[in-house]
Amino acid sequence: MSEGSTLESPEAPPPDRWTWPKRIARIALFAFGMAAIVYVVNDAGPEHVWATLVGAGVFVPLIVALEAGFMSMDVLSLRALIGAPARDVPLRVWVRSGLMAYSIMILFPGGRAAGEVVRAAQLAPYTGGAKAAAYGTRLQAATMLGNTFISVPCAVACFWAGSADDALPWLVLGNGVVTLVIGGGILLLSRRSKIGGWLGTKFTALQKHGSSFDEALRTDTSFGPPLFYSALGRVLQTVQYGIMLLAVGGSLRIVSALISQGIHLVGAGAGDLVPNQAGITEGAYWMFAEALGLAEDPAAAVGIALIARFCQYVLAGAGLIVGAVWRAPKPSSPITTADQGASRSASASELR
């Protein structure tokens, strides 16, 4: 850069003293999750679990396809949130960013937060970094409310099949309440708070872009279409968990599919702190095998979570390969790199 340039490099954010404790905690939680898998599989019978998985192999392509459908609903939801400017983003970028975000969510400890950082970084040249980060924030609200949408029929199905004294229906209902509060809270805060302005006081790199972030958060776009796509994604996921129940020898009915999905929601919610909920979802299916009619065959119930995990890894691995060999085109009129850098800095600060 020439000496006469007035553009100064943004200062790096101060180091976070909690970085290493957080990393150690993630490793410890992952180890706990793996130990839980070993315990549950051993209790159900390793040979029986393996036989269940092998027998379900014929259903794997369909399950992976449904997982891809569930993943694509995030892309459609985000596109609906962005509105008219989304037309400037090439289809290749949408596909690649969706696959990469999903792969990071599944395979890396940062989970959804890390995946959204990757997605925002790829959309930033077309939308601007602050706007990409803001759209990603509102996507979380749609995702949470989609979870709430499917929790209601899942809870009803659990009450219908069991009794009000059982823990499962109340846990599913509680999951719906929690996701409603979080999703609604994100929407409310995005409309009324000045998160970007606050971040600008903490990080020099965001001082000039915090207002853009706040403005994008308050953009008056219809939330109906994004919520519809998120809810549709959960419907596809319910079908997927019904197919997995059938794959392990269970009965495929609407009620049983909703119960299977409800157990997944409880396990995923309880295991949010554990990378990819390792061991927690397996434990949930083992614990509530009776609700699926598999009280005498807990290995089959555990197999549902293991099949789901295997299919997620297949799709995530394919996503990483696609991301590595399929490069996104460069925009003809890219948004300023300073705005992109602001988005990456803000997102990175959330991960620490």
CB atoms within 10 A of CB 20: 9
Q: What's the predicted TM-score (pTM) here?
A: 0.75
Q: What is the pLDDT of residue 306?
A: 86
CB atoms within 10 A of CB 332: 6
Residue 258 has pLDDT above 80, yes or no: yes
Structure-block tokens of residue 167: 């823990």
Q: Residue 80 phi/psi, 5° resolution?
A: -65, -35
Overall average pLDDT of the 87-94 stretch: 86
Q: What is the dihedral of CA 56, 58, 64, 70, to 10 degrees?
A: -70
Tokens 């939680």 correspond to 29
Q: Give residue 154's pLDDT band: very low, low, confident or very high (50, 70, 90).
A: very high
Helices 129-161 and 60-82: angle between axes, nearest 10 degrees: 130
Nearest to 116 by CA among 320, 322, 347, 319: 347
Give me the chain's average pLDDT, please: 74
Overall average pLDDT of the 67-79 stretch: 92
More confident residue, 107 or 181: 181
- Helices then strands, each counted (H, E), the chain: 14, 0
Overall average pLDDT of the 211-235 stretch: 77
Nearest to 267 by CA among 250, 281, 278: 281
More confident residue, 206 or 255: 255
Q: Give residue 196's pLDDT band: very low, low, confident or very high (50, 70, 90).
A: very low
**Distance from C-alpha of 211 to C-alpha of 345, rounded to nearest angstrom:** 15
DSSP labels for 205-266? GGTTTHHHHHHHHT----SHHHHHHHHHHHHHHHHHHHHHHHHTT----HHHHHHHHHHHHH
Residue 106 has pLDDT above 90, yes or no: no
pLDDT digit string, tens, across residues 30-49: 554 455 555 455 555 566 55
